[in-house]
Amino acid sequence: MASRLGTQLGEWQAGGGVAQALSDRIRMLLLDGRITAGERLPSERALAAELGRSRATVARAYELLEAAGYAERVHGSGTRAALPAQRVQRPAAPGGDVIDLTIASVGSAPGLHAATVRALDRLAGLLGSPGYSLDGLPELRARIAARYAARGLPTDPEQIVVTSGAMHALSIVLAALGERGRTAVVEQPTFPHAMEALRRTGHRLLPTPVTPEGWDSAHLVETIRAQRPALAYLIADFHNPTGATMPELERARVAAVARAAGTTLVVDETCAELDIDRAWTPRPFAAHGPAVLIGSMAKIAWGGLRIGWIRASREQVERMLAVRPSIDLGTPLLEQCIAVELHDDMAALLAHTSRRLRIGRAAVADGLATHLPEVAMPAVPGGLCAWVDLGGPWSTSLSLAARDRGLLLPPGPRFSASGVLDRYARIPITWEPDVTAAALARLGDAWRALRSGERSRHERLDAAAAV
């Protein structure tokens, strides 16, 4: 029977020594969280048989892993994956600089400093209060509610809970509404930390496909109808990482099916306003049927401003406020005051973000055309990244080769609930053009090394087949 590791390895041989390639691949799976420290690896004999390699090759790969601290041999109980004592994740780049494309976030908004100064006066007016803010400052909740109304979704401030970012919002939602031992639908690909949060709260994940062209609506609807999951976590606008937006009719259909199946829709709107040139603006999901919405200031103001929110029914809000004190006792008041000030000119904030993303998108398109001409730039009407199709299952190997060149790039399977998608890579459009240019030059170098290794392997195989 195929082992979990054997399945996850996929197309692991990317040229160079076989044992080295195998050990590199296992190391990547571990660094990526796709196998966990402490997890038992298949026996040398079993893995060798599964991969059609000699036992000595697998033994050598395990030795290499062990020497680097990524495996431990325990007498009598085989080999287990491990993480080196000090985190040695960061690669050594020539000159010591590392470009980290695992992060997709624009820098701080220009008005942030001035808003922070103004927020100090607002905070002064609150200093006489106890300072705990479980549901959020009324003036901030009112502004968030007004923005929903402006987007076509009438909202009462009582339906808003202010949180410390979208991930924190998701934790509160899952603590209040999730059901350990039940299933949750997630898109494939999706935002990896959301999958981790769902798994941590005991959900089994049911992936449903999405591409830059959109959702497989029939699959999504059928999965909800047949499996009746407790939750479905969706990113309906400028989906991370594909950039797709779900049409309104599809939202209505999904909402109706979810309501009938007793599935709570949790729709992450962190990217919802990152528009560059999408030709249409749908109303928020909850305008089409019951859905809990999660939002954030992270991508429109700054990742360092830990402000997010939840929009839900009053009854759901009550449940969330009941559970929240076991998680935290409220979002910092200074951050909330800054968010209130930023709401004064949200249009300027969004326009600025849009300009930055447009420039970032052009830089990625240029970099791909220059350094990876075989890889097409997908349509990116907005959002944080380009989800590029490499044309073959090379993403993990490319990430490894990029790492050796001082570039951190998460491989496609990082965005998959089932460890697939090795033909895709997520390239953020959020970095300054000079950073993107340098990153894509390194990626191009890794790509050429990988492809020439691939070619020489095929030549070797062809030559062997010819004799």
Ligand X SMILES: Cc1ncc(COP(=O)(O)O)c(C=O)c1O
Residues at the interface with ligand X (CB under 6 A): 104, 165-167, 191, 235, 240, 268, 270-271, 296, 298, 303, 308, 384
**Which string of b and e fits 194-225 if b means at least 16 CB within 10 Å?**
bbebbeebebebbbbbbbbeebbeeebbebbe
Query: Among residues 12 and 238, whose Cβ is nearest to ligand X?
Result: 238
**Nearest distance from residue 312's CB to ligand X, in Å?**
17
Residues whose CB falls within 8 Å of the CB of residue 26, separated by 6 or more in sequence, listed in order: 5, 9, 35, 41, 61, 65, 70, 71, 81
Report the distance separating Cα 28 and Cα 89, nearest Å.
Answer: 10
**Of 177, 311, 271, 312, which Cα lies nearest the Cα of 231?**
177
d(CA 243, CA 343): 25
Q: For the chain, how many residues are written?
A: 467
Smallest gap, in angstroms, from Cβ of residue 430 to ligand X? 9
**Beta carbon of residue 197, minimum distance to ligand X (angstroms, whole number):** 10
**Cβ of residue 62: shortest distance to ligand X, in angstroms?**
35
Q: How many helices and strands in the chain, by DSSP H and E?
A: 15, 14
Local structure of 321: helix, strand or coil = helix
Instruction: Considering the complex, state which of residue 251 and residue 371 has its C-beta at the smaller distance from ligand X.
Output: 251
* Closer of 191 and 447 to ligand X (Cβ): 191
Nearest CA-CA partner of 397 in 452, 354, 340, 347:
452
User: What is the nearest approach in angstroms of ligand X to the Cβ of residue 89?
Assistant: 19
Whole-number minimum distance, CB 44 to ligand X, in Å? 40
| Spatial CB neighbours of 168, under 8 Å, sequence gap ≥ 6 | 306, 308, 327, 328
